[in-house]
Amino acid sequence: MDSAALEPSLYTVKAVFILDNDGNRLLSKYYDPELYPSMKEQKNFETNVFNKTHKADNEIAFLEGMTIVYKSSIDLFFYVVGSAQENELMLMAVLNCLFESLSQMLRKNVEKRTLLDNMDGVFLVVDEIIDGGVILESDPQQVIEKVNYRADDNPLSEQSVVQVLQSAKEQIKWSILK
Amino acid sequence: MIDRSILMCLGSGSNPFQHLEKSAVLQEARIFNETPINPRRCLHILTKIIYLLNQGEHFGTTEATEAFFAMTRLFQSNDQTLRRMCYLTIKEMANISEDVIIVTSSLTKDMTGKEDVYRGPAIRALCRITDTTMLQAIERYMKQAIVDKVPSVSSSALVSSLHMVKMSFDVVKRWVNEAQEAASSDNIMVQYHALGLLYHLRKSDRLAVTKMLNKFTKSGLKSPFAYCMMIRIASKLLEETEGGHDSPLFDFIESCLRNKHEMVVYEAASAIVHMPKCTARELAPAVSVLQLFCSSPKAALRYAAVRTLNKVAMKHPSAVTACNLDLENLITDSNRSIATLAITTLLKTGSESSVDRLMKQISSFVSEISDEFKVVVVQAISALCQKYPRKHSVMMNFLSNMLRDDVSSSKDGGFEYKRAIVDCIISIIEENPESKETGLAHLCEFIEDCEHTVLATKILHMLGKEGPRTPTPSKYIRFIFNRVVLESEAVRAAAVSALAKFGAQNDDLLPSVLVLMQRCMMDSDDEVRDRATFYMNVLQQKQKALNAAYIFNGLSVSVPGLEKSLHQYTLEPSEKPFDMKTVPLATAPITEQKTEIAPMATSKLPEKLAPSRQDIYQEQLAAIPEFQGLGPLFKSSEPVQLTEAETEYVVRCIKHTFANHMIFQFDCTNTLNDQLLQRVLVQMEPSESYEVLHYVPAPSLPYSQPSSCYSLVRLPEDDPTAVSCTFSCTMKYLVRDCDPNTGEPDDDGYNDEYVLEDLEVTVADHIQKVLKPNFGAAWEEIGDEFEKEETFALATVRTLDEAVNNIISFLGMQPCERSDKVPENKNSHVLFLAGVFRGGHDVLVRARLALADGVTMQVTVRSTDENVVDVILASVG
């Protein structure tokens, strides 16, 4: 399977997913209907990938015949999956764009709580980067402009103070745990 | 230590979506119907719905449809994010809700409206719910959108068109001019998408693709993605046209090695490496850019580079030697995938002295790497063992450690990789007699705790084959008998067969084996009992010939063939007993070791049990009425070319041998597109007393569609030793000129002929290869009734290897006991060959070779028929 040349095609990305630090799915999209068609297979794959990758920040792995590039941030793991023959750097371009866009949108607070608070924006960002497996945009600046999403401004109300504290606590917690 | 309870309270509640209830969310969705619309709350609920769908929550059609229709009201709001989330919901629900086309008009309005932020996403949502009939209605808008000056609109339209190519190729094909225009866009993504769409629309038309490539290679591209795409198209085209490396396409790919984007450079290097028939000189520039990448700070790039170098090393190890230093630096890489690939590459390119060090390095982290890479490591070791046989003890230890560690770490899974290890150990044992005992000991240990039936039976078979011939066979008995006690039916049956082989080979073990057999006859499984009873009775006869025929060397007929013959026999009851000789023989398995296994070749497809080539021929020939009553097909030869490669007509011949006849199958191909050939046959003039009985012409031979014609020949009956013959062949046919474009032929034609090269029938065509796993036993079984011996001097042959290969290919017999491999630095060698002569007579050849100035050969032939012995000796002389 490995030596067969790649059929020229725009369909580069097989799947993309974001997991938390327990390996739970926060967002995932599978673009190839033949790859893990059922939810159970998808979750199995995600668990397997998570188990093999969460300990060391290695950027790239090869599992179940798929090339997987990944990146972690505080309590989040971002994965982009492509076929074994795919150009690894193209997958990296997608991963970087995803990460940079989210980082900008979330004002550098790339951690679970902020991500979930702005989940609508996250869905839109992923939608602007990949459409049905085709790389739609690779420049984070463009993505942010297209999505035109404003993360909650958090005017200093009493509720947001609690939130700020909460997020600070979490960050401290994870820096201790690392 | 951090207090656990604090952690707990920090952990929970951090996910606002954690305990979402589908029914509650759908309940909340009712506020979509409230006026005025509260965008913030609605947005939150839509997010929840999408989140639930994403988690795999199942929505029933009714509830989904209800929510979908409620959502359509939200188009009244002008909140940007809310509208965007509506598009997403439409896409997510397109397959689960009914009547999604209700939003068509809203989406069409957004797609053509003034708000640029809406237009792109609206197009993508619209195309998601559109089918072929509706596509025509929006065709006008799509065409406009493709050439829109706003990049996001154009990209969206192009990508959506690409998705729809599968569904409505004919409609999308009409947008090719618009796509062409978009391809010259300044925006890099638009250019990439346009190029992709253009290629998909034109890929069946090679000329159009070539034109497209030429245009863009000249004008240059902005997008690195587009370059990667172009490189792939170019290398595919090169492969299809088998273009030489002087082609402009190759120049283009090579020029991409100097692109400023790493992505493009890597794509080009990888394309060059993957080209078939690439020479070392052409590889050099690609290898040197990969070498540079090896020291990149980016792990992905290092990985990509070393993975590609690993591939180069399989075919051209010398081309990679220059990178050895860079690879050495990678063997301590924190990314174990990179380290593994670097080490396996070095194992292929490095010298024998570095092996120990590399093996030590890799064993320090082998438990950390994924199964896919463990297979890569094992394959590299397997290749290494063939290269440096002296290193087998290091390898063997390493492999057995891998097996042992894995057994303790994970009970389930790992099958692929354990199989790779077992295969590797078995091949070492077969290659290298010195390693036999240690290897068998490791395997014995492995089956003590092996949960894979396939592997256990394979190892038991191996033990049965090799164990009895070791100095102390008795020590294996315990391992084998443990299997009889502990394992599943299939393994127990295999263990019984293995035991029988020990009893048959070693007289002193026979009594104990018989006792064990007796116990196996009480087994709860039919197959195990049957085998035990059968072997018990054979062994009690204490006859060497019986042992050889029924225990060491099993059936040599093809199993599908046997099945078919037996079925036929039961259909036509007859007085005669069933004759095994009428069953076609199994074509000997091709034992070429595939050393060039691609790394990560973990294809998930189950291996299909294809019918053998001979079974297919048998079917094809049986379908021709003229060839009835010839008996079973005995042997089919490899195709022989009767024309040069680049001629008007290409003809190759396959020789099918039957008991008293031969059929020559001529596969003809007409390479002239302005001719239609009819009534094609090949006329044959034999040099000996062969008699051509019948010709079966090919009725018609249109341009580039191969077709076959046949000739039936009777072998001389009065002179059984006349096995070789030369036929001069002429192809005769009726030519009808035709229009190259339409293929419409003229009304009348003319007869013509074409002289082919001569066709030789040799002794090899009369002998089928049969593998005798235990040659010595078979030799005794046949006996020396018709033994003949003669000595020959092969003056022209310089080495033993050459002599062995000549003899094998001349006689067309199967080398046994791996005697086709001549050990290094030896002056004498014994070659064992086994086969079956036409008519079903076993024939065995033992050739003792001695190397002096030339090679002297003493040939001893044994067979069940005297004529056969004469034929073989006569043909050798």
Cβ within 8 Å, pair A124-B603: no
Distance CA B558, CA B569 (A): 16
B698 shares its domain with B779: no
Question: How many angstroms separate the CA of residue A119 from the nearest CA in chain B?
Answer: 7
B791 shares its domain with B671: no
B737 shares its domain with B787: no
B591 found inside a domain: no
- Touching B: A residues 130-149, CB under 8 Å: 131-132, 134-138, 142, 146-149
Nearest to A2 among B229, B301, B600 (CB): B600
B184 touches chain A (CB under 8 A): no
Domain A13-152 has CATH 3.40.640.10: no
B757 shares its domain with B775: no
Domain, as residue range, for B847: 765-876
Q: Give the pLDDT band of residue B243 (cuts 50, 70, 90).
A: low
Distance CA B301, CA A89 (A): 7
B800 shares its domain with B830: yes
Query: ipTM of this model?
Result: 0.85
Q: Tell me if B360 sits within 8 A of B583, measured CB to CB.
A: no
B194 found inside a domain: no
> How far is it between the farthest Cα atoms of chain B?
108
Q: What is the mean pLDDT of residues B611-630?
A: 76
Using the predicted structure, report yes or no on whether residue B555 has a pLDDT greater than 70: no
**What residues have CB less than 8 Å from B543, skipping those under 6 apart?**
none
Nearest to A93 among B81, B200, B263 (CB): B263
Exposed, middle or buried: residue B374 (CB in 10 Å: 0-12, 13-18, 19+)?
Answer: buried
C-alpha closest to that of B449 among B497, B490, B408, B392: B408
B709 touches chain A (CB under 8 A): no
DSSP-assigned states of every residue in B475-519: HHHHHHHHHHHHS-HHHHHHHHHHHHHHHHH-GGGHHHHHHHHHH
CATH of the domain at B852: 3.30.310.10
Cβ within 8 Å, pair A43-B300: no
Distance CA A48, CA A34 (A): 19
pLDDT of residue B584: 65
Q: Give the pLDDT band of residue B159 (cuts 50, 70, 90).
A: very high
Q: Give the pLDDT band of residue B86 (cuts 50, 70, 90).
A: very high
B733 shares its domain with B796: no
B733 shares its domain with B783: no
B292 touches chain A (CB under 8 A): no
For residue B36, cis peptide bond before it (omega within 30 degrees of 0): yes
B714 shares its domain with B736: yes
In whole angstroms, how far apart are CA B487 and each of B240, B344, B457? 52, 36, 11
Size of interface A-B (CB pairs under 8 A): 176
Report how many domains make up chain B: 3
B857 shares its domain with B739: no
Q: What is the mean pLDDT of residues A32-48?
A: 90
Exposed, middle or buried: residue B629 (CB in 10 Å: 0-12, 13-18, 19+)?
Answer: exposed
Cβ within 8 Å, pair A8-B232: yes
B520 found inside a domain: yes
Name the residue with tokens 């046959």: B681
Task: Quote the Cα angle for B811-B427-B355, to 5°.
Answer: 125
Using the predicted structure, report yes or no on whether residue B744 has a pLDDT greater than 80: no
B666 shares its domain with B756: yes
Distance CA B216, CA A156 (A): 55
- Touching A: B residues 369-388, CB under 8 Å: 370, 372-373
Using the predicted structure, report yes or no on whether residue B874 has a pLDDT greater than 50: yes
B658 shares its domain with B735: yes
Using the predicted structure, report yes or no on whether residue B146 has a pLDDT greater than 90: yes
Q: Give the pLDDT band of residue B754 (cuts 50, 70, 90).
A: confident
pLDDT of residue A136: 94
Q: What is the mean pLDDT of residues B140-151?
A: 92
Task: Quote the Cα angle for B403-B407-B410, to 5°.
Answer: 125
pLDDT of residue B427: 83
- Touching A: B residues 814-853, CB under 8 Å: none
Cβ within 8 Å, pair A7-B236: yes
Nearest to B80 among A29, A142, A148 (CB): A148
Question: How many angstroms separate the CA of residue B444 from the nearest CA in chain A?
Answer: 30
Distance CA B616, CA A17 (A): 48
B728 shares its domain with B746: yes
Q: Where are the domains of chain A?
A: 13-152
Q: b/e string for B202-222 if b means 16 or more Cβ within 10 A?
A: beeeeeebbebbeebbeeebe
